[in-house]
Amino acid sequence: MYIPPEIILNILDYLDCTSDYPTNDRATLISLRSASKDFSAIVTPVLFRDFSLHYGVSRSVPQMRAVASSSTLRLHIRSLFVPSESFFPLGKDVQFNIKDNYPWSRGPVLDWLTTNNYSQATPVRKGIKGRRNHAEQTLMLHHPFREYPTRPWQQFSLSQKEFREQHQEYSKALSEFLDSCGNLEEVHIAMGLGVDTARMPVFGRILGKYMIPRIISKGIRRLKVSAPSSGSVTLPFRGYAESSNNLFGKLVEFSSLESFVIHSCYGNIAWPASADFAVLFSTLTNLTSFNLLMSSPLKCESTREIFGNPKSATSQHLTKVTLGSIFLRQYDNQFEAFLSEVPTVTELILHYIVLQTAFRLPENNSLPQENWRYLFRHIITALPKLTTYKFGLLMYGAEHTWWGQFPKDAQLLLPTGVDSTELNSRTWSNILRGFELVSPYEEDWKGLESLRTVVRDRRLVRGLETNRYGDINVPAWVRDGGEWTFITDK
């Protein structure tokens, strides 16, 4: 039976074809591609549109060489995912320990209960002589990552021939691969496994020397960096500064870059990277979209150096800002200062933003000193061109501090029950999904209503639809003055 290509393409639109997250339908696409010549001709451009490097340096290098040598496949690539694991000695199916597993990691978390002894945790793949091959590791038992599982003292060093050859082969293959991708528009760099090892800075220098210059010369429009810390985010750019024999403060302008996404930058080393971030943002002169997406469960980590630096050069063209999973510390006005620096923004997306408050709430249900009503008013005045916003789970929270330890888990201020359903640390997000604001103070809801009215009026003036910006209904668990409590997000 003949199926028109247009119908097949419409069916493929319902599949998740992205390559930078494990939950996708690429296995289905691969099966369809091998079904027939007709399917292959239609599916191949879709399958290779979003391309991801394999885990393991022994697998990613041949992969890049094969695609670079194909005159047809390389031209289909529009988006490229480059995980740090592509430079590490890994096998095909990797199981991560909990400390090395991130939202963008491809592979399950190792179940420690099934690892009864050390022999089960060593690499399962064998070399040609039957010995266990450290270059094909699959079980990540140790943190930080070990180059040789049974020899923890053996570190990565370019003075050793094996590691020097890996470096040379990977660098050459990556350069030739990038040069061959003539239609590349987006790059996603992900720092994951081994962020605390000697191999990771070398990976950053490879990206800085061979990838960043090509991002500039090719006019790449979208860049995403996923990393466990802010120091890791700037790693490729510091590598570029070192390889170009220039100071970090003398970076050339990334004038072609329109969208910059930072994902999952948590950790307590944001402060040393603040100067690097300020310099980096000053080079993004034509940036129109900026996303800062932290990981959840929410942590009480400072992000002021990350989203506090889009200054004059960057903010000239910025029209869309997305912030997610961020804890705003009390008496820290970086969020307000950030908004004041980007008056050109027309679209603002805030999801899961927690404003710090004290464990002891004000008496008579009065507003705390720092509140959402004030922030809504600031948004109105700081963003005069704002015509689109999307909020979700804007709330209050407190730091849960243990003696002698850095505060980690955020305590969220939540109603004890919603529609006769009790909230707990694991179910609250599903129960409250869809609510823009989670606050016991009616003044906050009035502030949100004022913001919505202003945005609706602006849309009317510009002839835009206003259906999504109707009146706000304050939920019963706010109007009835029910009990509220602090809950840790799990």
Q: How far is CA 424 from CA 77, 300, 469, in A?
A: 44, 19, 31
> Does one domain contain both 313 and 351?
yes
CA dihedral 371, 374, 378, 379 (to 10 degrees): 60
**313 assigned to some structural domain:** yes
Q: What is the mean pLDDT of residues 132-143?
A: 76
Query: pTM of the prediction?
Result: 0.84
**152 assigned to some structural domain:** no
Residues facing residue 356 across a β-bridge: 397
Which of 485, 452, 454, 488 is CA-nearest to residue 470? Answer: 452
What are the backbone dihedrals phi and psi of residue 281, each rounded to the nearest 5 degrees, phi first?
Answer: -65, -30
> Does one domain contain both 3 and 102?
no
**145 assigned to some structural domain:** no
Does 456 have pLDDT greater than 90? yes
Q: What is the mean pLDDT of residues 420-441?
A: 86
Q: How far is CA 363 from CA 74, 441, 477, in A?
A: 65, 12, 18
> Does one domain contain both 43 and 58?
no
> Does one domain contain both 131 and 30?
no
Domain of residue 113 covers 91-139
**146 assigned to some structural domain:** no
According to the 3-state scheme, what is the secondary structure of 288-331? CEEEEECCCCCECCCCHHHHCCCCHHHHCCCCEEEEEEEEECCC
**144 assigned to some structural domain:** no
Round to whole Å and give the CA distance between 100 and 190: 13
> Does one domain contain both 460 and 428?
yes
CB proximity list for 79: less than 8 A, separation 6 or greater: 18, 19, 49, 50, 51, 184, 185, 186, 187, 188, 222
Q: How far is CA 110 from CA 88, 343, 384, in A?
A: 18, 47, 50
Round to whole Å and give the CA distance between 384 and 463: 17
> Does one domain contain both 15 and 114?
no
**What percentage of residues in the chain have a pLDDT greater than 90?**
33
In terms of average pLDDT, the best of 194-198, 308-312, 406-410, 451-455 is 451-455
> Does one domain contain both 22 and 85?
no
Does 268 have pLDDT greater than 50? no
Q: Check which CATH number belongs to the domain holding 196 and give it.
A: 3.80.10
Q: What is the pLDDT of residue 184?
A: 93
> Does one domain contain both 482 and 394?
yes
Round to whole Å and give the CA distance between 92 and 5: 33
Overall domain count for the chain: 3
Does 120 have pLDDT greater than 50? no
Q: What is the mean pLDDT of residues 12-22?
A: 59
Read out DSSP for 398-449? EE-PPTTS---BEEEEEESEETTEE--TTTHHHHTTT-SEE-S-HHHHHHHH
Q: What is the mean pLDDT of residues 171-200?
A: 92
> Does one domain contain both 238 and 99?
no
**Upstream peptide bond of 144 is cis (omega within 30 degrees of 0):** yes
Per-residue pLDDT tens digits for 292-336: 887 766 766 656 555 555 554 556 788 999 988 888 887 777 788
Does 384 have pLDDT greater than 90? yes
Q: What is the pLDDT of residue 253?
A: 74
**148 assigned to some structural domain:** no
> Does one domain contain both 35 and 97?
no
Q: What is the mean pLDDT of residues 156-163?
A: 92
In terms of average pLDDT, the best of 22-26, 295-299, 407-411, 429-433 is 429-433
> Does one domain contain both 180 and 106?
no
pLDDT classification of 349: cutoffs 50, 70, 90: very high
Q: What is the pLDDT of residue 404?
A: 44
> Does one domain contain both 121 and 220?
no
Does 420 have pLDDT greater than 80? no
**150 assigned to some structural domain:** no
